[in-house]
Chain A
Amino acid sequence: MARAFTPKVLTANRLLEGDVIYYSANGDWVTSHDDALYLTDEVQANELLAACGKLSKYLVGAYLADAALEDGKPVPTHFREEFRTRGPSNYHHGKQAEV
């Protein structure tokens, strides 16, 4: 039996800078996970992912990452995705230092 669909966000890295980005509710790509579009519909999620093929000049490595809703905002459910929202944990640098 196919695994039941769980909510997702669409994420990738920017081609030029390599920064982690998320597809937002406004239809653009943002660096904050808070502003990511929370995808609960499997068909829509897969269509958005497929459309990334046309954005190859802008982004790289797009995929759907598991997320949950907390206080109305999407949050990562896996620690790997949580690290991607802020940067390395060995000391304060990377994305967390730039925000």
Chain B
Amino acid sequence: MYSYNEFDKDFIQTRVKQFRSQVERRVDGSLTEDEFKPLRLMNGLYLQLHAYMLRVAIPYGTLNSQKMHVLADVADKWDKGYGHFTTRQNIQYNWPKLKDVPDMLQALADVEMHAIQTSGNCIRNVTADHFSGAAKDEIEDPRPTAELLRQWSTDHPEFAFLGRKFKFAVTGSETDRAVIKAHDVGIQVVKNAAGEIGYKVLVGGGLGRTPMIGKVLREFLPREDLLPYSEAIMQVYNALGRRDNKYKARIKITVHENGIDKIRELVEERFIIQREAFGGYDQELFKDIKAAFAAPDYLNAPTTAFDDALSSDPIFRSFADTNLFEHRNPDYAIVSISIKKHGQTPGDATSEQMRVMADLAKEYAHDELRISHEQNVILPHVHKSHIPAIHAKLREHGLATANIGLISDIIACPGMDYCALATARSIPIAQQIATRFDELKLEHDIGELKIKISGCINACGHHHVGHIGILGLDKAGVESYQITLGGDGSENAAIGERAGPGFSYTEIVPAIERLIGAYLEVRDSKNETFLETYRRLGSAPFKAALYPETRVAAE
């Protein structure tokens, strides 16, 4: 696991001291709220609906047990004993007191964690595939690239005052588990015909008010050109991006208004100049970073315990079917831990659960944990012989729900239960859908289905790329939920199509039930997923199920 160098350590510790002094000055009245607000936001501290909220970065979603234990300690000591894992691989604490935040940040800094650049118009926490370093289909672990980008973008003076926030995501596989096409810049590790490793660079993706799928800026960028090329993109955006209207300020609009060819031409021009400024030091650094992400020393042992459990224990079998994924080492598996037990808040983990997962990682999984953008926790390297013991422990703590990729594995933003920007609630909708389909015992029959819910147009819940997307809005003082169909956050990314008029808070879950009923009726076999059925038949049968009264009226 990557460890901070002296420069990083010093930077984080100094920042905590600075923030402590800023909080003191706010409390004693030397700073007004207008003066203080940009300072607290630079340190991840928001004021939400009911309380402050502290957003802590988990770079590329990677943690070890020590860090997870500190996340649990922070939850117990200064919050309400839980944390919320987000779609940006961060963790949010919903109830910190202003005077405690410097102590929270100090505890985090002592294990090389921080809340820097989790807010504001800067380059945000760099996200990556949550299976990185373990996935069988991977060309290369994307995390060293993500770490290089993190170091380059942290406190970069030229990019500290962008027109709007800016998000990078990196994947090392063709299979996109990091939604790179919905990021300002998406980076995919690729191999060219000569077998050299480099990057495919996409630009201008994003969700929110104007959803866009990222466009290819460069099919193959040599590895050593990553930072100068990224710098060129940022410079073109900084110069050309609009600042007159915050809703038009993201790079997706810059790309849309100027065209990808124009953007490419400008980036290539800047790139020639920027490349001169990089003398190869970044590549020396990259070698060191890469070494810190070396694969663990894999255990060489029989997998009999796993095979036995698989054939004798149906509950374990069900868990294995949904929550295990292929590892590059055939004796290993990637274990996804669902923190979405039916009826629970998606992404919430109690401090006790965090400690259980940390201890399991330490004992059985080479001390590695990942947070996924889908708001689950991953043990990326588990020898198969250990999985029955892990499963047994997870069951004791409400963490063994076998629902990864199924209808109850819902992404939901905090919505109006916590967020000051939200226009409607999203968590209770997720809770009700999960509970309802658990009661119906249909979840496994329905199969792969991604429902994503946002409580406002900013789309933190990625609703546009949900196979079924739900967007909560305030329609004349009443919560109203709009459904989109056919979205896809994978390498075949697509923006969902709006199905029709919205549903009220009490109508939305029955509407989803009708939608699923229609799917079960029209799919050509159990193997055809919801998304495949939608692509084959279009929206008509689903709209008819959602709006039966319209069909009657038309007849």
Which A positions have Cβ atoms within 8 angstroms of B?
Answer: 13, 15-20, 56-57, 60-61, 77-80, 83-84, 87-91, 93-95
| Shortest Cβ distance from residue B418 to the other chain A in the assembled complex, whole angstroms | 6
Q: In the complex, are the beta carbons of B98 and A90 less than 8 A apart?
A: no
Known contacts A17-B98, A60-B33; A79 and B49 CB within 8 A of each other: no
- Give chain A residues whose Cβ lies under 8 Å from the Cβ of B47: 13, 18, 60-61
- CB B146 to nearest CB in A, in angstroms, measures 32
A16 with B49, Cβ < 8 A, contacts A79-B478, A91-B345 known: no
Contact A19:B477 (CB < 8 A) given known A83-B416, A90-B428:
no
Which among A17, A57, A90 is the interface contact of B417 at CB below 8 angstroms? A90
Contacts of A78 in B (CB 8 A): 477
Closest CB of chain B to A16's CB: distance in Å? 5
A19, A57, A60, A80: the one contacting B29 at CB < 8 Å is: A57
Report A-chain residues with C-beta under 8 Å of the C-beta of B51: 13, 17-19, 94
A31 CB to nearest chain B CB (Å):
11
Chain A CB within 10 A, most for which of B49, B425, B474, B478: B49
Is B299 positioned at the interface, with any CB of A under 8 Å from its CB? no
B18 within 8 A of partner (CB)? no
Q: A90, B345: Cβ atoms under 8 Å?
A: yes
Residue contact B27 to A93, C-beta cutoff 8 Å: no
Given contacts A16-B97, A18-B48, A80-B474, 8 further A-B contacts (CB under 8 A): A16-B27, A16-B98, A18-B97, A20-B49, A60-B33, A60-B47, A61-B33, A89-B428
On whether the beta carbons of A79 and B477 are closer than 8 Å, the reply is: yes
Most chain A CB neighbours (cut-off 10 Å) among B28, B48, B95: B95
Residues of B contacting A80 with CB < 8 Å? 49, 416, 474
Grouping DSSP codes into helix (H, G, I), strand (E, B) and loop, the A interface class, with mixed when no group exceeds half, is loop
How many A-B contacts if CB must be within 8 Å?
Answer: 74
Taking CB atoms and an 8 Å cut-off, the chain B residues in 38-63 that contact chain A are 47-52
A18/B50 contact (C-beta < 8 A), A83-B416, A89-B425, A90-B428 known: yes
In the assembled complex, which residues on chain A have CB atoms less than 8 Å from the CB atom of B97?
16-18
Q: Is the CB of B479 within 8 A of A79?
A: yes
For this complex, 16 residue pairs linking A to B, each with C-beta atoms less than 8 Å apart, are A13-B47, A15-B26, A18-B95, A19-B50, A56-B29, A56-B33, A77-B477, A79-B479, A84-B49, A89-B417, A89-B427, A90-B417, A90-B428, A91-B345, A94-B80, A95-B50
Residues 409 to 425 of chain B near chain A (Cβ within 8 Å) = 416-418, 425
Task: Assess whether B262 is interfacial by the CB under 8 Å rule.
Answer: no
User: Are B417 and A83 touching (Cβ within 8 A)?
Assistant: yes
**B99 lies within 8 A of A94 (CB):** no
- Residues of B near A19 (CB, < 8 A) are 50-51
Min CB distance, A38 to chain B, in Å? 19
In the complex, A88→B425 CA distance in Å? 9
A17–B51 Cα distance when bound, in Å, is: 7
Q: Is the beta-carbon distance between B50 and A16 smaller than 8 angstroms?
A: no
A18: B residues at CB distance < 8 A: 47-48, 50-52, 95-98
Taken together as a complex, chains A and B put the C-alpha atoms of A17 and B52 apart, in Å, by 8
State whether B98 touches A88 (Cβ < 8 A): no
* Residue in A57, A84, A89 whose CB lies within 8 Å of B27: A57
Report whether A87 and B50 are in contact in the complex, using a CB–CB cutoff of 8 Å: yes
Also in contact, A94 and B50, with CB within 8 A (given A17-B98, A18-B97):
yes
Chain B: CB-nearest residue to A57 = B29
Give CA–CA (A94, B425) in the complex, Å. 16
CA distance A19 to B50 in the complex (A): 6
Determine if B431 is an interface residue (Cβ-Cβ < 8 Å).
yes
